[in-house]
Chains A and B, each alone.
Chain A
Amino acid sequence: MTDQVADTGYSAERRGLSTKHREWVAGYLFVLPDALGLFIFLGVPMVLSLIIGFFEVDGFGAYRFVGLANYARMMNDPLFWKSARVTALYAVMLVPLLYVCGLGLALLVQKTTRFNAVMRSMFFAPHIVSLVVVALVWQLMAVDKIGVLSRLLSALGFGGVSLLGNPSFALIAVVAVSLWFLMGYYMLIFLGGLQDIPAQYYEAAEIDGAGPVQRFWYITLPLLKPTSFFVLMVSMVAAVAGAQAFDIIYVMTKGGPANATSVLILYIYQQAFGFGAFGYAAAMASILVITLMLLTAVLFFFTRGGRFDHD
C-alpha cells in the first residue's frame, strides 16, 4: 500500500481499484443522472424522430415506410423553402443585433455603481417575463391605429403603418421583440467576459496613450473572443431552432401575414399537430438539426474549436 492510497482512508486493495480509477468511476457516476436525462429525453427522441422521418404517420397509430419520400416532398414544398428563408432572415437579422446590443449594454453598465446595478436589472428584466406575456404586450402595443407604437409612428408621419399586419414589417417586428427579450441575457454573459479582462491591460494602454476606441479595439474585443464565440454560437442555434421565435410568433402572428413570419419550427409544428403529418414534420426536424450541426461545425472550424487561449 502506498502512502498516497492510504492517505484517502480507504483500502484500495479491498476494492481492487486505484485512486485514479475510483475517481474516474465517481466522476462518471456524478455525470450519470444528467447523461441519463439527456439520453432519455433528447437522445432517444432525436433518434426516433430520425426514424419517423422515413415513415408516413397519420397521427392515429398507422405507420407506413416511405423511404425518402418525405425528403423528396420537402424539396418540392414551396412552404418549406419559404419557411427556411424566413428562418435564415430571422437569424441573419437577430444574431448580429444581439451581439452588438448585448456587448453595448455590457459596456454601458460595466462599472460597478449603484446606478449601473439598477440598470443591469432593468436590462435583464424582460428575460424573466414569460414569452407569451411578452408577445401579448408587444402585440397590443403594435395594434393598428390605437396601439402605442402605431400612434408613435403616426405622430412621426408614418400613419397607416401596420407593424404586424404588413408582410414587409412583421418579421422585423418579431426580431425587435426577440432582441428586446434576449439582449439583457447576453449582456450578463458579456459582463462576465469583461470582468475576466485584467485591469492592468487598460492601465498600461492608457499610459501608452491609447484612447477609448483603441482600448476597445485592441484589448476588449480580442480578449472577449471566447465570450463572443459562445454568444454567437448560442444565439445562432437559438435563432435557427426558433427557441424564442416560436412562442413569440405563435402568439403575435401565427406565422402570418401571408407566411411572412412562418419560421421553420412553426411550419414543422403546423405539419405535425395541425395537419397530423408527423412523418413529414420529423423529416423536416431532422434537416433542421443537421443544418444546425453543420453551422456549429463551421463555427468550430473557423474558431479552432473555440480555443482562443493560444492566440
Chain B
Amino acid sequence: MTESARKKESRSAPGLNRRNVLIGGAALAAGGIGGFPFINRMAVRAQDAPLQFWQFYAPGGQVAPQVEWFEKTIADWNDSHEQKIELVYVPNSEYINGTKLATSFASGTGPDIFIISPGDFLRYYNGGVLHDLTPFIDEAARKDFAESVIANRMVDGKIYGIPMEVEPMAMYYSVKAFEEAGLNENDVPKTWEELLEVAKKLTTPERYGVLFETTPGYYQNFTWYPFLWQGGGEFQGKDGKSAFDSPATVQALKFWQDAINSGVAPRQVLGNGANDATANLGSGYCAMQNVGIWAISQLVNNAPDVPFGVFRLPTPPGGKYVTVGGGWAFVANAKGRNPDVAAEFCAWALASMDQGSIERVVNWCTKAKSDMPPRNSALEAGSDAFNKGVMGIFSKEIHPGTRAEPRVPPQVYKIISDAIQQTQLGGADPQAAATAASQQLDAFLASYSGAPIL
C-alpha cells in the first residue's frame, strides 16, 4: 500500500466507507420493502372498517348547517347499527368535476356510498356500480316520492338512487337595480322578448341586465334545457332518434345568442359560475340571474344587504311554462364492501316512512339548504317553511312546472354543449348548429346500448 493510500485510509471514519454506505442503503431498502406485508394486512383489516360515504359537504365543508346535517345523519345511523359509516369529504372540484371519484372506480376502490346528480346517473349505472335499492324501500315510501323526481333514478322499475332534494331553476332579480331603472315587481318579464327588453333597461356601463351560464359543462346544459322544452323541443324523439333539429331548438339557441349579441348578457360569469348568485347578482355584476332555488340561502347568508326577488322563467311566443329541477341522490356501490348495508343506509336516511327520515328530508331542504323536497310527506311536514317568502313563490309558482333533469350519456351532453357554445359565444347560425348536432346525436344514438336516456 502506498503512502497516500495509507493517509486516505486513516482519514476515513472507522467502518464508514462507500461499501458500507451502499450495504446500509440496501438493508434499509430491503427493510422498507419488507414492510409491505403490513400494508397488505392493513388492507385486510380495512374489510371491518366503517363504510365510506363520499360527498362534498362534510366534515369540513363550507356551510355549517349542511356539515351538521350530514354529521348528525351518520351519528344517528352509527348509534343504532352495527356496521358503522364514516363521512369522507371530497371537494366538489375533485369530485364529479375532478378525477377522484372516476379514478377510484377505475381502480376498483370506489366509495361504498356516494352522491350523484342525474347528469352522471347513466355513466355509473351503465358501469354496473349502482346497487338496486328497491328491496330496501317500502311501497308507501316509494309512493311518497313524486314520479317526476324518482323516474330518472330508475331503470326497468327498479330504484338506483334516492333523491335528497329538488332544485328548480328560476330568474332572480335585484330589487335595487329594478328601482334604479324605474321598474318594480310588476315589471318582471313574462316572455323572452320582455326579458331582453327589461334587461336592456337594466344594463349600465358597470352592470349586465341578465345573466345566463357561459362556461361549458353539465351545468350549462342543465340551465338551457327549459328554454328548449318551453317551445316543445326535445333532444330525443319517442322513436329513439334525435329530435334536436327542430324550430324549438333553434329558437332556444337563438334566444341565448340574442342576449349576448344585444350586449345585455355577459360572455363571462363571476365566482364559481352562474350557479353562484352571491358573486354575480349579489356583487351587482348583473341585475337578473338565471339560477336555482339554492340561491336563496346563498343570498340570504352571503349578501344580506342585497334585496332580491324571484320570478318563474319567461316563455317564448306560444310556449308553455316549464323549468328544470336538478338535485343529488344517495347511491350505493354495487361493488363496494357491503352493498346491502350501504343500500339499507340510503333507504333509512331518505326513503323510510319513519318520522326521523321525513324530518331529515325537511331539515335538509329548509335548514341546511333552500330546496324543494322530493317527498310529498316532507312537503307537508315542512309546509310552514315551504309556503312563506321566496320559498313560497317557488312552491306555488315555480316548482309546479318542474321537469326532472335529463339523464344523458357524456357523449350526448358534449354534443348539446357544443351546439350551445357555438351559438351563444361562437356566433354560429342556430339552425346550422342544431342540424349538425342532430346528425351527431343520431350517429351516437344508433350505437348506444345502455339504460334508456330520459
Contacts of A59 in B (CB 8 A): 102, 105-106, 123, 127
**Are B103 and A273 in touch, CB under 8 angstroms?**
yes
**Are A259 and B285 in touch, CB under 8 angstroms?**
no
Q: Which of B4, B106, B208, B422 has a CB less than 8 Å from the CB of A60?
A: B106
Of B65-73, B166-174, B262-270, B390-398, the one touching chain A: B262-270
- The smallest beta-carbon distance between A68 and chain B, in angstroms, is 18
Q: A58-B127, A59-B127, A273-B98 are in contact. Are A255 and B216 (CB under 8 A)?
A: yes
Contact flags A265-300 to B (C-beta < 8 A → 1, else 0): 000000011111110000000000000000000000
Near B by CB (< 8 A), chain A positions 161-202 give: 162, 164-167
- The smallest beta-carbon distance between B49 and chain A, in angstroms, is 22
Q: Which of B2, B99, B127 has a CB less than 8 Å from the CB of A273?
A: B99
- The smallest beta-carbon distance between A173 and chain B, in angstroms, is 11
Contacts of B105 in A (CB 8 A): 59-61
A258 close to chain B: CB less than 8 A: yes
**Are B426 and A7 in touch, CB under 8 angstroms?**
no
Instruction: Output the nearest chain B residue to A76 by Cβ-Cβ distance.
Output: B443
Instruction: Output the nearest chain B residue to A142 by Cβ-Cβ distance.
Output: B268
A6 close to chain B: CB less than 8 A: yes
Of B317-325, B359-367, B381-389, B410-418, the one touching chain A: B410-418
Q: A29-B22, A162-B268 are in contact. Are A259 and B99 (CB under 8 A)?
A: no
Cα distance, A58 to B411, chains bound together (Å): 13
**Are B418 and A259 in touch, CB under 8 angstroms?**
yes
- The smallest beta-carbon distance between B2 and chain A, in angstroms, is 5
**Are B102 and A273 in touch, CB under 8 angstroms?**
yes
B35 close to chain A: CB less than 8 A: no
Instruction: Output the nearest chain A residue to B101 by Cβ-Cβ distance.
Output: A273
Contacts of A166 in B (CB 8 A): 267, 425
A-B pairs, top 10 by smallest CB distance, nearest first, are: A165-B267, A258-B426, A257-B425, A60-B127, A275-B410, A162-B267, A9-B5, A258-B421, A256-B216, A165-B268
29 contacts between A and B (CB under 8 A): A6-B1, A7-B4, A9-B6, A58-B126, A59-B105, A59-B127, A60-B335, A61-B106, A61-B108, A62-B127, A79-B418, A144-B267, A160-B263, A165-B268, A165-B425, A167-B425, A167-B427, A254-B216, A256-B214, A257-B421, A257-B424, A258-B425, A259-B216, A272-B102, A274-B410, A275-B414, A276-B102, A276-B123, A278-B106
Interface residue ranges, B against A (CB under 8 Å)? 1-2, 4-6, 8-9, 18, 22, 98-99, 102-103, 105-106, 108, 123, 126-129, 205-208, 214-217, 263, 266-268, 270, 285, 335, 410-411, 414, 418, 421-422, 424-428
Interface residue ranges, A against B (CB under 8 Å)? 3, 6-9, 26, 29, 57-62, 79, 142-146, 160, 162, 164-167, 253-260, 272-278
